[in-house]
Amino acid sequence: MTDFYAVYGAAGCGRSLMPVAREQLARSGIQAELYFIDDSLTQATEINGHPAVNYQTFKALQGANKFVLIAIANSQIREKIAQRLQSDNIQLWSVQANNTIIMDEVDMAPGAALSPFVTLGSNIKIGQCFHANLYSYVEHDCVIGDYVTFAPGVKCNGNIHIEDHAYIGAGAVIKQGTPDEPLVIGQGAIVGMGAVVTKSVPPGVTVVGNPARTLKK
Ligand code: UDP
């Protein structure tokens, strides 16, 4: 029986990651049908040359194994979908561009999306469904939680800990921590685009600017 692969989400994030997914399959010598899944679809269609269906239709396909990359920027939705996939026995698929650089001892949980020109330095731990968009990097000794999202061009320097569901905006720079005192971006925190983060960010807050300061609601 054939295996089925899919990119879940056919908006901007999914359509940007589909070519990465397609190239990865070709590089791995896997010949399989590659779908878009999007729940806004009421009937099967085609998007950018790929069959596109909603989740119920994909789930009903008769195949040996199914692998799904969740390509949706909203981390809460990624988590909800990951749980649904797990309960339906569908595997989280990790996808990385052919020019991604991964150094030594990178421990990465399933479901990652590494866009073109991403670099991961040595001795890094990364949780489930990490998204690192174009030109982002994670330097040595960082610990990244589950469902963390990097927009394009994020500079995450050494000895930084980023907790679950944090979102780092485009072009943000995060100052390196030390082995004894890592810089911590708290759970669910948002770092605005272009921010220069010089000290730890508490959970749930939004920081913007240079040097980054908490955005008052
Ligand atoms: N979506 C879905 N199932 C869900 C939640 C979202 O198929 O349970 C789809 C939604 O229809 C949309 C995409 O995921 O096409 C999310 O797109 P969004 O505009 O949030 O931007 P993106 O994540 O691509 O940047």
Helix (H) or strand (E) holding 5: strand 4-8
The CATH number given to 4-93 is 3.40.50.20
User: Could you tell me the residue ranges of all domains in the chain?
Assistant: 4-93, 96-208
Task: Give catalytic residues, as residue numbers.
Answer: 140
- Strand ranges in 130-176 using DSSP code E only, listed in sequence order: 131-132, 137-138, 143-144, 149-150, 155-156, 160-162, 167-168, 173-174
Give the architecture-level CATH label for domain 96-208: 3 Solenoid (2.160)
Q: Which atom of ligand 1 is nearest to the CA of 41?
A: 11
pLDDT of residue 93: 98
CA of 35 to the centre of ligand 1 (A): 15
CA of 84 to the centre of ligand 1 (A): 15
CA of 54 to the centre of ligand 1 (A): 11
pLDDT tens digits, one per residue of 116-154: 999 999 999 999 999 999 999 999 999 999 999 999 999
Long-range Cβ contacts of 122-127 (<8 Å, 24+ apart): 127/164
For ligand 1, atom 18: residue with the closest CA: 11
pLDDT of residue 216: 86
pLDDT tens digits, one per residue of 63-72: 789 999 999 9
pLDDT of residue 141: 98
Question: Which segments of the chain have a pLDDT < 50?
Answer: none
